[in-house]
Structure 1
């Protein structure tokens, strides 16, 4: 499907993309003497950018399959054309490029044999694993690909310097200190190093 855009006044009083989309994807319709619909079990839309939801198929009041819905979100409060909010909805069966679905939503999904959905779930799980990796002060890491910085330096291996939650990367050859956006989502590995312990004489 394409994009659906609207002014904030058309969001039925909902203040966020998450609240509006939760409402849109939770519904019941009467069909052939019974009812069918969807129910959002859990959802997330950080900074009104990408919406992820676990939606359960409802038939005659009973719950069935649970699948993922992904929406690309447009959030533009200052739009001169009043296209302040918009979204493009997909299901996991379409293999969305957006693959940062939270774990609590992935855990609610029922088994599937759809290849696109399986690939999407795998990518989401891999991204979750990357973000939960631990970095310690003094670790040496190697990126999967070299990075070119604004000062022209090209680097691939760095020494980690941590101060609280702030992570700075120091070039081992002394070229400077750098920060890399979304570091925990990038592919890298810790380079084993030999640590020399002090000798203590009795």
Structure 2
């Protein structure tokens, strides 16, 4: 499927990409001829700014669940677009094995079991990324990347010290020098180095 683009009017009164996509994925189509009844509703959806993820439930004429699948939409949103086409999206479901795999846990938890190989691979990639992003790095932690990271000044470093400045994590060299920024830090593979603790020596008073 390609990209669908539209103006504000084309969004049918919906003010945000999430509201529009939620509405598109909520419908009932009566059985006609050899076409069976189709019902779809969104149980949970999350929009991040560039991607939309939904747990969408297919149900029968009695409202009973058939299965819940993941629907993923890549999103382009520019309310100030000069040509008036402020919204664009490209939709797919998990069975096509989307490369976008930042689905939140709240959506993944609602999906029905599946044996589809592409869907299974996509879910594994999502959970793997969640495991990386949910790691806790504390002030003073030493982290090590599998390979040296190259920076704009030409230097290469593999180990960094974490310095917490409020909610912000700053990287320095192991001795505390410098300030480095690595985009998507928690989405990258690194290990937290467990450093030996040096016990303090106490001498009894004479």
The CA deviation string for residues 63-114 of structure 1, in whole angstroms up to 9 with x for no partner, is 2110000000011222222221010000000100110101010000001011
Matched residues, number: 201
Secondary structure of the residue aligned to 1:141 is: strand
Match of 1:108 among 104, 107, 110: 110
Task: Say whether residues 1:12 and 2:6 are aligned partners.
Answer: no
Distance in 2, Cα, partners of 1:196 & 1:163? 26
Aligned to 2:76: 74
Aligned to 1:141: 143
Distance in 2, Cα, partners of 1:102 & 1:119? 16
Task: Say whether residues 1:51 and 2:43 are aligned partners.
Answer: no
Indicate if the aligned counterparts of 2:161 and 2:176 stay in contact, CA closer than 8 A: no
The CA deviation string for residues 19-61 of structure 1, in whole angstroms up to 9 with x for no partner, is 10000011000114873221110000023x1000000112102
Secondary structure of the residue aligned to 2:90 is: strand
Match of 2:160 among 158, 161, 164: 158
State which structure, 1 or 2, has the greater radius of gyration over its C-alpha atoms: 2
Distance in 2, Cα, partners of 1:115 & 1:24? 27
The CA deviation string for residues 142-198 of structure 1, in whole angstroms up to 9 with x for no partner, is 113322212222111111111221111111266622121111111111122112122
RMSD value, Cα: 1.6
Which of the two has greater strand per residue? Answer: 1
The CA deviation string for residues 111-138 of structure 1, in whole angstroms up to 9 with x for no partner, is 1011110000000001111111011111
- After TM superposition, the score normalised by the length of structure 1 is 0.94
Aligned to 1:99: 101
Distance in 2, Cα, partners of 1:109 & 1:155? 41
Structure 2: runs of 5 or more not aligned: none
- After TM superposition, the score normalised by the length of structure 2 is 0.92
